[in-house]
Structure 1
């Protein structure tokens, strides 16, 4: 956000300050001869010196029980009414005002910022002290009420950042949210809003001021016909720049509010420490500068939570991945995390999204300040972490927003700056361009099992509108940008070509399906001709485009996608797939000569070299899944697995496996366990069951259901079983065991983990070495595999 408000905005701020001073002087004159026990105070925007031209003047006349207070009040109210200023007024004793504040939440919020204007200052000071004391004492009750009030307002007002005609005050991310955050800070449960929120608040206040000047009314909705005028008043080049500025401010406020309410909700559920003989204040209990201050990482062991009686216990730290742990409901850096690791930022973000947890703001700030960025081209671990982040689905949106607020997204993907907060002047779209891209990627995660390359679908979804706002056809411009970005991310040349084609033709299916006659042969030929840009990968690209069309339509809004359009796109994709049919499946990989040499050495051998594990042993049922079980026991996540037969009674297994978190296991210990498995001296099943029982499921985190498909005509000698599921420890073990329970042998396999998605293909035969043809047997295989996945 631009920290320099510019001369136009500085003029608006000066005008508000001058008006506040002028009003104070005028009101003081109206009460110049008031008795010593009477005072005039401001609440609301005038108390904060933020009164805009259309704002109401909110005043309270305070007294200590004077019988003639009505006459004194008339000397103030009538001149104000005669001036034409909109006035909200009340006359109260201090006990009356205090009592009302304890009963009425909105009255309490106003009185938290009460400011003396004229008369007896001690009366106002007494009221302020009493209201603040009550507010802090009643925080366990009042803060949940305030939280509910905010959520009701968000539901009715929508999200300011994504509205074409936003309400600057009431919508989510608007001025009211900053007022609520200040109220929470007044309870000593959280710190006051920081500089980013204050800057965002000032921008929205300036927009509101300029809107009131332009319309001469008190309305707070920034309607389309006023946006150019307001933009000029703020020194901005036009309405789009105005909407981008308001969106950026609103998102900064909404992000801070989300964290604050999570923090407040956690503290509301936590027993508060007993503090005897000490007034509770900022340095005690839930203090503004105490151990529970939100947004900070407590040194020497982390924050503590209180037990009844004032004793404290350490909050549990649960590992989530390499470099990331869960701590008090948020994800923070693990002790000793390598800030020089170029994949750390994305790996920690992916761990948070996959766990359905937010990133701690202090952790995000530390990553932004000190963590290394991936070199160009990105190494594979950084690219995989990005895919894993996107593959978390809608849980990735909040994590992405946290990285964006810290400026990390534009540092990772420089072209993102051009679409960041860019409005879409189309009421069909629900979001700004950047948020639409993230929403599309989140929706694509649920469709990842419908394509051969989920990673290309997810990255293609993230980039499909990256060319918007640059003039010309955004698909053509975006394809060129996507080509550069894909190379930056380290994709090989063939994948770069697919991603460029996906971005170039992301509207091909929906536009063709809704604008052309599907029965005309030219329609399908047009689609096939476009796919020919990626020779040899036409069907793969077609499947990605079909899934992307669904995710893009759903992310755009209900007006852009429905059953009718989905049916047309699906029909066109089927026709195009039929036109592309006739190819052969990729050949089953053969073992390299070095692996066969290893196998011939002594008939059964194991080699562990870093993340590469190679096993050669005589053919026998269950070898794949038993070996996968050993890797799972050693907390290794299988990224790739290849199973091939030498044709001479020997099977070669080639795994790539990485630690789930922390350091890798001792190679000698892993090799010893693999050899014990080969010698049938290790009960893999029992040990895996014990580990599974120790893993605590995390409530509220949902993933798409698994998919098991028996692929017709993919092989003439085996039955091909394709399994797509959310990756988790021991997944390959469970699948293989289910296939073994069906009496099947795995003749060959290709196992890949793309981000958070496992894409496993097994070529299986029965005990006689034949493929399955009986429909009942095929159905049984599918049922049993799905059962173990669920």
Structure 2
């Protein structure tokens, strides 16, 4: 049984100019509350959100008109208009009631009546936005501000003098006020400014349903532009004018229905006019709208958000294209210029010579994008051509993925290298990329419910491709010198572009997406006609696309064994270069916040050492003794150049364990040694290098070893808001601690300034000189961090006479300092720490012993585990 709309409220006949008594106000408030309850029940029962928003608009309009008559009577010389969404007849559960009162003269009695009118509306529970203007003022403001003019396009009279209808129409129909070209430019400027606030993408983790790219405001804008530019204010009228086709109208109407449904549910869930799909509401909204978990990699909330992203993407894509059609409509006719046998150019727009070309020869769907690359100054396709691309793509459907000529044209495009990336972006906007790569269509709008993946899978993939294209730009050499050098030498860039397209294509299916994607890539490359060796290389890159980042961030890349194992998997230098470029593009494309100078240096170091290891004349792993001798010789040479005597250096090195020369670079050893020699025996010694060769701020602590040292240092770093990227906790045979920390500013994820480095040095020096026992500061987690807490996963295993503890969990302010405090309290010594942060997720590894330097027994491991869970487990409200 279909649910029925709640009835419109019955109101008594208003007594003109009698005002609204307190009793009547209570009755009206109760009436509105009853209406809202009835609408909420109808929504829960499955009623269409648009119909319910209209019914609320009708109900509120009746109440507003009732109060107008009660306060002003059947007055002449004044009228009340609904504007904004209310003017269009839509009111969502907590939307503002936007009103415009027009009056010919500011009579004191009328002004008092208007004040009473608006105060009454607020008193009965309506959130009113209002303005009172004379018609001349209204015209002057509309002439100055396109947004004011736009608000009048939706105005409809609710009560008052009908004569004002004509005056308002005279303003919005005046050709001198915002003529078509000026109005289109103003709307596009407003769109661009609004989208810039949302990172120019509909794929934000917490998108704005109303104002974000692809939101409901985009659909409103299409109607506004249609009315002003083509006298076509509805989607059906845009079809009649040739600015939309029926299929596009259906897509927009379906997307609008989804967005309105989500917005209605969001208002009810939030209990206020919330337009952002915040994490706080996403799971509850998914449940409210009937989405259920399929498996752990396809949660109900992810399906719910995929529905939003798909709707918003359709709206954003068609919104851009219709705006281009408006621009073309206003352009003066251009002369025809032939472009090859199949295409012609009209000014800055490309078109198919034969209207049936794409239906007759599907490969032309790809070829026109190649032609666009070859035509400087082309801004897009003609409106008719865009429409025919969509129609042909829909008509051919799955055949495009198997058509040999289409795939051959697609391969020709990929072999263009970096320029092909922009074409791939455009093909995606037209739905063509998903038609050629059906697996890509499956991840269209697919999100992952965490803070690590900022974009949906399809948006992330396209950003990875754009990041790769940057390696071909001369301007990028300053930021990515190694990446640009590698890209310039790639013999077959299409291999890397294909790997980027497939690296996450199996997300959401269950299982390992790298393994599933490897097979997808292998199958597609075979259909594409790629040489077998190239296809295997694409498949290898997809299978191992996470290998380089996990090796660099989770293992000790100064250990030759680690480099050797990595090199064995990589196999050759060409594949190493491709993996390096894919890794960087993938990290930056996952979230701009994840990339920093430390990761840049870390990956470059792994690339360089692996490239050296892959030389045919080098045996791996290299002997540890040889590496110690080589490092110390280079460090000594640097120190002697700076005027230090060899005997003094050798004396200082008596406190350096052999691991120092294995774990550190020669320049780090030289810097640490110079600091010790300059201190002339004064301890504790704290040295800070604001920007080290490791792309981070380097902190070196040299002091007699004692329990609690690691806890004190990490607590001070937490107080000063530094993030620890890596630490090396070493003890000398003579009882000295030589601890090294690589740091970034917690807020900016950048190395410290000289002033901040000096502050760190002085504060930590004082703390170590006075006593141990500095406590970390207490800071609250962000709203996002609170929402995505997970119980830490902590495991122990033996590691060369010590106990290695792995900690995987949710990052939060002061996490490392809190862990160090717990270890101190449990009489556990930290000998090494490997810190890795992936968005909101941390993966830290510690080498531990008890106070007697023995591995932790099972009982102590269990005590430490419980103490850590109690301290850093999910916070309770």
Which TM-score tier does this pair reach, normalised by the shorter chain? Answer: 0.5 to 0.7
- Maintained 8 Å contact 1:102/1:134: no
Which residue matches 2:427?
Answer: 400
- Maintained 8 Å contact 1:42/1:116: yes
- Maintained 8 Å contact 1:361/1:402: no
CA distance in 2, matches of 1:560, 1:482: 27
SS at match of 2:592: coil
- Maintained 8 Å contact 2:502/2:542: yes
2:507 to 455, 460, 468: 468
CA distance in 1, matches of 2:425, 2:410: 20
Output the TM-score relative to the length of structure 1: 0.61
1:243-642, aligned counterparts within 5 Å? 243-262=305-324, 266=327, 292=329, 306=332, 314-320=333-339, 323-335=342-354, 337=357, 339-353=359-373, 355=375, 357-370=379-392, 373-374=399-400, 376=402, 378-379=404-405, 381-388=408-415, 391-392=418-419, 395-396=422-423, 398-404=425-431, 408-445=432-469, 446=472, 448-531=487-570, 538-582=572-616
CA distance in 2, matches of 1:235, 1:11: 15
Which residue matches 1:217?
Answer: 272
Q: Which is further off, 222-231 or 551-560?
A: 551-560
Which residue matches 2:49?
Answer: 12
Q: In the superposition, relative to structure 1, how do residues 427 and 334 fare at CA in structure 2: closer, same or farther (>3 Å)?
A: farther
5+ residue gaps, structure 2: 1-42, 236-243, 293-299, 473-483, 618-877
Q: Which has the higher helix share?
A: 2
Which residue matches 2:282?
Answer: 227
CA distance in 1, matches of 2:610, 2:360: 47
Q: In the superposition, relative to structure 1, how do residues 374 and 90 fare at CA in structure 2: closer, same or farther (>3 Å)?
A: closer
Q: In the superposition, relative to structure 1, how do residues 410 and 138 fare at CA in structure 2: closer, same or farther (>3 Å)?
A: closer
CA distance in 2, matches of 1:190, 1:497: 56
Residues 105-152 of structure 1: per-residue CA shift (max 9 Å, x gap): 332221111012223334224313322325755444444333333322
SS at match of 1:220: coil
Q: CA deviation at 1:345?
A: 1.3
Q: CA deviation at 1:545?
A: 1.4
1:186-225, aligned counterparts within 5 Å? 186-188=227-229, 192=233, 195=249, 196-225=251-280
Aligned length: 528
CA distance in 1, matches of 2:57, 2:79: 18
SS at match of 2:197: helix
Q: In the superposition, relative to structure 1, how do residues 338 and 95 fare at CA in structure 2: closer, same or farther (>3 Å)?
A: closer
Q: CA deviation at 1:46?
A: 0.8
CA distance in 2, matches of 1:321, 1:9: 54
Q: Which has the higher contact order (CA 8 A, sep 6+)?
A: 1
Q: CA deviation at 1:433?
A: 0.8
1:242 paired with 2:266, answer no
- Maintained 8 Å contact 1:41/1:117: yes
Q: In the superposition, relative to structure 1, how do residues 26 and 518 fare at CA in structure 2: closer, same or farther (>3 Å)?
A: closer
Q: In the superposition, relative to structure 1, how do residues 485 and 205 fare at CA in structure 2: closer, same or farther (>3 Å)?
A: same
4+ residue runs of structure 1 moved beyond 6 angstroms?
6-9
Q: CA deviation at 1:224?
A: 0.2
Which residue matches 1:35?
Answer: 75
Q: CA deviation at 1:315?
A: 0.9
Q: CA deviation at 1:74?
A: 4.6
Q: CA deviation at 1:41?
A: 1.4
Q: In the superposition, relative to structure 1, how do residues 81 and 254 fare at CA in structure 2: closer, same or farther (>3 Å)?
A: same
CA distance in 1, matches of 2:170, 2:316: 30
SS at match of 1:457: helix
- Maintained 8 Å contact 2:401/2:438: no
Q: In the superposition, relative to structure 1, how do residues 390 and 183 fare at CA in structure 2: closer, same or farther (>3 Å)?
A: farther
CA distance in 2, matches of 1:219, 1:158: 20
Q: In the superposition, relative to structure 1, how do residues 412 and 18 fare at CA in structure 2: closer, same or farther (>3 Å)?
A: same
Which residue matches 1:151?
Answer: 192
SS at match of 2:85: coil
- Maintained 8 Å contact 1:200/1:249: yes
CA distance in 1, matches of 2:415, 2:350: 16
Q: CA deviation at 1:37?
A: 4.5
- Maintained 8 Å contact 2:400/2:435: no
Q: CA deviation at 1:227?
A: 0.9
Q: In the superposition, relative to structure 1, how do residues 9 and 315 fare at CA in structure 2: closer, same or farther (>3 Å)?
A: farther
CA distance in 2, matches of 1:184, 1:338: 30
Q: Which is further off, 457-466 or 357-366?
A: 357-366
Q: CA deviation at 1:376?
A: 3.0
Which residue matches 2:129?
Answer: 88
Residues 702-749 of structure 1: per-residue CA shift (max 9 Å, x gap): xxxxxxxxxxxxxxxxxxxxxxxxxxxxxxxxxxxxxxxxxxxxxxxx
- Maintained 8 Å contact 2:81/2:156: yes
Q: In the superposition, relative to structure 1, how do residues 375 and 430 fare at CA in structure 2: closer, same or farther (>3 Å)?
A: closer
Output the TM-score relative to the length of structure 2: 0.55
Q: In the superposition, relative to structure 1, how do residues 11 and 422 fare at CA in structure 2: closer, same or farther (>3 Å)?
A: same
Q: CA deviation at 1:56?
A: 0.9
CA distance in 2, matches of 1:411, 1:442: 21
CA distance in 1, matches of 2:420, 2:598: 25
Q: CA deviation at 1:7?
A: 8.6
CA distance in 2, matches of 1:232, 1:543: 46
Which residue matches 1:278?
Answer: none
Q: Which is further off, 314-323 or 411-420?
A: 314-323
